[in-house]
Amino acid sequence: MPENKPERIAAIVVTHNRKQLLGECIGSLLRQSRPPDALFVIDNASTDGTCEALLDEPRRAAARDVEMHYVRMPENVGGAGGFAEGMRQAAGAGFDWLWLMDDDVLAAPDALDVLVRRKEQLQAARNEPFILNSLVLARDLSDGDSLAFPLRELSAGGSPRMGAFHWRLSEVPHMVHDGLYRWICPFNGTFVPARAVTEVGPPRKEFFIYGDETDFQFRAAKTFRLYTVVDSRVFHPRPQPGAFDWKQYYGIRNMFIVNRHFDHPTLRNVKLVLTGLTMGLRNGPRGMKLMLRAIRDGLAGRLGKRDDLDS
C-alpha cells in the first residue's frame, strides 16, 4: 500500500501597518526547526511600506523551501476579515493544517515542531478532532511564566468560569495533563486543521476587530477538542491600555454577540452595559455617544465595519 503523504502546513499572518513587527514575525517562522510548508501574509491595505519591505522575503523563504504567498487586501478588513481570507486561501490551496498568528507574535524555534509532534501523538492515540495552540507567553517579560493572555477555567458545561483568569503558567500545573491545557488563545499560534474552515466556518469578518477569535473558539468547541500545548511557545506583547478611540466601539459592541456563547449571558450583558457607560462617562460627550451606539448596536446584533465612526 502507498505511504500516507505528510500533512502540509501553512502559516498565516495578518498584518496592518506594522512592517517592523511583521518582519520579526516572519523571521521567527523561517527559523523554525520544522518550518511551515507555506507562509501566507494577509496585508490589510497597509500604507507604511509593508509591501516594499517584503520584497526580499520570497528569497529568504525559498532558502528554507517555504512557499511565500503575499495577499494584499483592497481595504482594511480587520483581523477578522484577514484571518477569514487567509484560512480560505490556504485551505483552498490544499494545505492540511493552518498555523494562525498576529504580526506581533514571535515563535520559539521549535514551536511548530512541538505542535506537529503532539498532533501526531494525538492522531495516533485518540479518535477525536482537535485544535491546538501554542502557549502564548508575554513578549515583554522574560521569566518564561508570565502569559500574554490569561488561561481560563472551564465549567462542567464548557463555558469559561466568571472571574477565573490565570496570568501565569505556574498557577495551573494541576490543570495541565500530558502537556495539554484545555483552552486555546486564537489567533496567536493557533494550529487548526483545514477541515475546520468548512466544518466550523472561518472567523466572522463582520466582527472586524475584537471578539471574532472568541466567537470562532466557541463555534469550534462544538466539534473539536481544544488544547494548549504548553511546551510549544510563542511570544506576544501583553495588552496595554491605550487612548480611548473608535476601537472601543467594536470591543463593547462585539462582546454582546460573544456573550451569547457563555453561561448567564444576561448577567454578562448587564455588566457590559455598565462597563460601556463608565467608559463613556470618562471620555465626555463624544465618548458617551460612541458607547451608547456600541451598546445599542450590540444588543440589536448589528455587526459589520463602520466607516462613519468619529476616529
pLDDT in tens, 2-12: 457 889 999 99
CATH number at residue 80: 3.90.550.60
In this prediction, residue 311 carries a pLDDT of 43
C-alpha cell at 76: 482594511
User: Is the domain of 278 the same as that of 155?
Assistant: no
pTM of the model: 0.94
Question: Average of pLDDT values for 223-232?
Answer: 96
Question: Average of pLDDT values for 244-262?
Answer: 94
Say whether pLDDT at 45 is over 90: yes
Q: For the stretch 40-53, what's the b/e string if a residue is b when 16 or more beta carbons lie within 10 angstroms of its beta carbon?
A: bbbbbebeeebeee
The contacts of residue 194 (CB under 8 Å, 6+ apart) are 87, 90, 91, 95, 96, 97, 98
With the C-alpha atoms ordered 229, 235, 240, 245, is the resulting torsion angle positive or negative? negative
In this prediction, residue 2 carries a pLDDT of 45
- Looking at per-residue pLDDT, the higher value among 163 and 13 belongs to 13
User: Is the domain of 214 the same as that of 287?
Assistant: no
Question: Average of pLDDT values for 276-296?
Answer: 95
In this prediction, residue 3 carries a pLDDT of 57
User: Is the domain of 46 the same as that of 154?
Assistant: yes
User: Is the domain of 256 the same as that of 232?
Assistant: no
Cα–chain center distance at 185:
6
Residue-number span of the structural domain to which 183 is assigned: 9-236
Question: Average of pLDDT values for 182-192?
Answer: 96
Is 2 inside a domain boundary? no
In this prediction, residue 1 carries a pLDDT of 37
In this prediction, residue 163 carries a pLDDT of 79
> How many domains does one find in the chain?
2
Q: Read off φ and ψ for residue 231, nearest 5 degrees.
A: -90, -5
Is 31 inside a domain boundary? yes
9-15 and 97-102 beta bridge pairing: parallel
**CA-to-CA distance for 280 and 288, rounded, in angstroms?**
4
Is 265 inside a domain boundary? yes
User: Is the domain of 154 the same as that of 269?
Assistant: no
- Structure confidence at residue 310 as a pLDDT band (50, 70, 90): low
User: Is the domain of 25 the same as that of 124?
Assistant: yes
Question: Average of pLDDT values for 249-271?
Answer: 93
User: Is the domain of 97 the same as that of 117?
Assistant: yes
| pLDDT tens-place string over residues 124-157 | 987 899 999 999 999 989 899 999 999 998 877 6
Question: Average of pLDDT values for 82-97?
Answer: 98
Helix axes 247-258, 284-300, angle to 10 degrees: 30
Is 308 inside a domain boundary? no
Say whether pLDDT at 284 is over 60: yes
